[in-house]
Amino acid sequence: MLLDPYGKCVAKPAGYSRDAARRPGENTATAMKSVVADVATYDWEGDIQLRIPFTKTVIYELHVGGFTKHPSSGIDAAKRGTYAGLIEKIPYLQDLGISAVELLPVFAFDEQDGPPGLCNYWGYSPISFFAPHPGYSSSSDPLGVLDEFRDMVKALHRAGIEVILDVVYNHTAEGDSDGPTFCFRGLSNEEYYILDTDKASYSDYTGCGNTLNANEPIFRRLILDSLRYWVSEMHVDGFRFDLASILSRDKNGRPMPSPPILWDIESDPVLANVKVIAEAWDAAGLYQVGSFVGDSWKEWNGRFRDDVRAFLKGDNGRVRGIAQRLLGSPDIYGYEEREPEQSINFVTCHDGFTLNDLVSYNEKHNEGNNQGNRDGSGDNLSWNCGVEGPTDDPEVERLRNRQVKNFLTLTLLSIGTPMLLMGDEVRRSQGGNNNAFCQDNEISWLNWALVLKHSDIHRFAKLLIMVRRNRELPIERPETTLNELLRDQPVSWHGVKLNTPDWGNESHTLSATVSVPGNQLLLHLMINAYWESLSFELPPVEDAYEPWRRCIDTFLGSPDDILTWSQAAAVESSTYTVQPRSVVLLMTRFRNSKQQRL
């Protein structure tokens, strides 16, 4: 029994069996089946894509199931972990201030494609490129998922929030040569997959057993048809392409200098105003951050993640890297005249530690994945602040809180497009599991009690997002390239001494001053990743400016750690003591400025 590769709905029987699809013989009773659907009857009530510019975008990576599945969500049990459940939590997202949700895979996937006794929770195991995942529907009607998904998109749009889908066009749930046959293997194995030279086994550039042949005409057309469908019929606003470098490989697995599918996506009129984001690497070592083909693609910037983690951790040799990341990574993207938002800046995502675990664990703790703790990366650039895992030590907790605020501050103040992971704003933990792909349980679910428990971090994140979206920052103006921005708004670098930055191997400090003429603002950022307090010299302000005001100091407790302009304390001294492992932002503006502040 094979699925229709263009089917818009998938029904899964109660006795569905992945193993039965591996074995020879009849499996009709236990197979997933395509359902004929008429998608033209839905009433969108005038809904259209929001087209929020990247200059105003803050992305929130979210798992549809894990967002509301925890009992503390307060949602009726029948709706927990569903599209309908997410709708009920839109006010939380709206209050947080983010502009887009990036949903982990919602294409129908095989939940049984996981380790023995566990499941596929993340959803990177597609069986269809058109059907929304039925497991996220609160309806027992196989067709109900279509309306429920579209209801969610419509409700998010009404709240001013875009919908970006994490899409997987690099492999399927059919696995390797011992895997099940659902669709593509049974229809045309050589057309859909990249095969080894023996034509009997699969080239695996994904780490998932097979690799789709994205530049073969049949599958290339299917990718385009799928993307157009999700834009035209489901009204999504953008796509994040998992292991996007796979899309640059030819039928033999070799990287192509000008991959047809990437230019198809770039030039397609239906996709012209859609956000396209690349995870610009694959599992076989092809790394294309800064060199991904195309003129419109934004890229997950793994260098941002690594440099920010290492610098705030206190590693040596990272100060030059952190300066580049703050400025939109011109060392990576400056060779081409592209917009400042090309870099998607993130410190955490679904794959790896949460932000809380990044400051709570030195080592991964993936024993629950039943793989002997061998899975997941062992190189996390994490630091537990002195104790492995949860602790009642108030000093360690204060330091962890401070580090969380430091990471949030640099992510949201840096030039580029910021992305946050679900629950990082309330210190969600996975107990040190950095590869929770198979954990559909409280390891992965958002515990809503954390909103109150860590209300200080939640408040800090909210105000930072407000600062970001109100553009109390060096402004990335529409149609301005990163190089033009840095020329027009040059940065003055300092260390603890003015105009004397320490670029040495053992430097753990950096300070920067930037003028924002259009907003009549002057900003001064100080970062002390050292383990002792340091006195930083402050730039003198001209008479035309008001005194410096301290808007952010991550060492301070709430609410003094982040303040609105009207609340911020004046700094009259010529120096400012930045406490250990802290970030401080000072602002000033022209006297009598009519520019509205926070």
Residues annotated as catalytic are 242, 279
- 391's tokens: 């602790």
Q: Is 170 helix (H, G, I), strand (E, B) or coil?
A: coil
Whether 102 contacts 142, CB under 8 Å: no
Whether 341 contacts 54, CB under 8 Å: yes
* Dist. CA 451–CA 162, nearest whole Å: 23
- 555's tokens: 């060492």
Tell the burial category of 334 from Cβ atoms under 10 Å away from its Cβ (0-12, 13-18, 19+): middle
Please say whether the dihedral angle defined by the alpha carbons of residues 310, 311, 317 and 318, taken in this order, is positive or negative: positive
Q: Is 67 helix (H, G, I), strand (E, B) or coil?
A: helix
Largest CA distance in the chain: 85
What are φ and ψ of residue 589, in 5° steps? -150, 165
* Dist. CA 154–CA 304, nearest whole Å: 33
Among left, alpha and beta (phi > 0; psi -120 to 50; other), residue 592 is: left
* Dist. CA 517–CA 48, nearest whole Å: 35
- 15's tokens: 């006795």
In angstroms, the Cα distances linking 50 to 89, 161, 393, 407 are 20, 8, 46, 29
What is the chain's length?
A: 598
* Dist. CA 238–CA 51, nearest whole Å: 9
Whether 565 contacts 551, CB under 8 Å: yes
* Dist. CA 224–CA 227, nearest whole Å: 5
Whether 340 contacts 333, CB under 8 Å: no
Angle CA 269–270–272, to nearest 5: 60
